[in-house]
Amino acid sequence: MTMADRITLAHGSGGRASHRLTRDLFVACFGGDILASLEDCALLTLESGRIVVSTDSFVVEPIFFPGGDIGSLAVHGTVNDLAMRGGRPLYLTVGMIIEEGFAIRELEIIVRSMKASCDRAGVAIVAGDTKVVPRGKADRIFINTTGIGVVAEGVDIAGGNGRPGDRIILSGTMADHGATILCQREGLAISGAFQSDSAPLNLLVARMLKAAPGGVRVLRDPTRGGVGTTLNELALASGVGVRIRELDLPVRDDVRGACELLGIDPLYLANEGKLLAFVAPEHGEAVLAAMRDDPLGREARIIGEAVADHAGLVVLETAVGGNRVVDMLHGEALPRIC
């Protein structure tokens, strides 16, 4: 590859330099006939007309962090949004906004990381776009990923499908991603070896759906705003109350220590490789068992139930036996967490 060391405005001009970057980096790494055709748009054939679509922009800072980078985060984030509707993710588009002067070596690392994440999740990048803005007009790199998946017949999963009695399952420990990013950013050297949990959840979801067809009613990945905010959204959408037990909420000890230092409740810190599920009570144990067979669900736990009381409210039974209402995240504590 004979490219300059740094991204220049010419790489975003649509001219010869743009073409070279597209061909030598994006097409070379992402591969695939569809992308290689270099059309402005990808032509795809889907096996089913019932699809899910999701979009997310990623502005995380720092762009490289323990457990991942902005590229893998972007792929996993969009794959997970599709999986949370019971979709089988198939295709991604990638839109990059790059600051002039960004090192092409770093761009390569990000692109390779995206490719590895796509391979792990079984999705293909089918269209892309790159814009370059002058120095100081963006912060290094922002990435938008938009995903398309197909939904099998009979699958009906939505935030509004929860019912009283549903078991609420969390697939693993809380706050790993958020704590990692904040510690990196604040330069906190905290003892412990936690890292971002960023991971694609689609295969875990496939196991869950197989274990209890029709039994999984709600899926949602508790990213920005954390488990606390997400449960509030789901309680509102389903018109149910949510009761969770503090003692059942899994948090790594080192992450809990970091949260105390940061002064932030792990309930509000982002997760990027975890899911919350509402499961019909008779299927709760079967789904839990299936999850524990998956590397990404090994620490899954039933953390509470949906209830008919206090619709729209999330109530936490505290470790000492009291009750407190868990509100949505409020205020502007946590920019650029994803």
Instruction: Tell me if 202 sits within 8 A of 122, measured CB to CB.
Output: yes
CA angle 153–154–157, rounded 5-degree value: 110
289 vs 191: CA distance, rounded Å:
32
5 part of the interface to a copy of itself, by CB under 8 A: no
What length is written for the chain?
338
39 vs 34: CA distance, rounded Å:
8
Which of 34-42, 201-209, 243-251, 311-319 is the region at the interface with a copy of itself (rule: CB under 8 A)? 34-42
66 part of the interface to a copy of itself, by CB under 8 A: no
115 part of the interface to a copy of itself, by CB under 8 A: no
330 part of the interface to a copy of itself, by CB under 8 A: yes
Instruction: Report residue 123 as tokens.
Output: 């999705």
Window 145 to 164, contacts with a copy of itself (CB under 8 A): 146-148, 151, 158-160
Instruction: Tell me if 18 sits within 8 A of 11, measured CB to CB.
Output: yes
Instruction: Give the dihedral sign, CA 252/258/260/266.
Output: negative
**Which one of 36, 42, 190, 311 is in contact with a copy of itself (CB under 8 A)?**
42
Instruction: Tell me if 124 sits within 8 A of 32, measured CB to CB.
Output: yes
From residue 86, give the alpha-carbon distance in Å to each of 128, 206, 236.
25, 8, 20
Which of 40-48, 106-114, 167-175, 295-303 is the region at the interface with a copy of itself (rule: CB under 8 A)? 40-48
221 part of the interface to a copy of itself, by CB under 8 A: yes
Least separation in angstroms between CB 240 and a copy of itself: 16
Which of 109-117, 120-128, 169-177, 194-202 is the region at the interface with a copy of itself (rule: CB under 8 A)? 120-128
**Which one of 137, 210, 298, 324 is in contact with a copy of itself (CB under 8 A)?**
137
297 vs 294: CA distance, rounded Å:
5
Window 43 to 62, contacts with a copy of itself (CB under 8 A): 43-59, 61
326 part of the interface to a copy of itself, by CB under 8 A: no
Window 75 to 94, contacts with a copy of itself (CB under 8 A): 81-82, 84-85, 87, 91, 93-94
Residue closer to a copy of itself (CB basis): 25 or 288: 25
Least separation in angstroms between CB 278 and a copy of itself: 14
334 part of the interface to a copy of itself, by CB under 8 A: yes
179 part of the interface to a copy of itself, by CB under 8 A: no
Residue closer to a copy of itself (CB basis): 45 or 323: 45
227 part of the interface to a copy of itself, by CB under 8 A: no
61 vs 56: CA distance, rounded Å:
16
Counting other chains too, the contacts that 327-332 makes at CB distance below 8 Å and 24 or more residues apart are 327/228, 327/232, 328/225, 328/228, 328/229, 328/232, 328/233, 329/224, 329/225, 329/226, 329/228, 329/229, 329/268
**Which one of 122, 134, 213, 214 is in contact with a copy of itself (CB under 8 A)?**
134
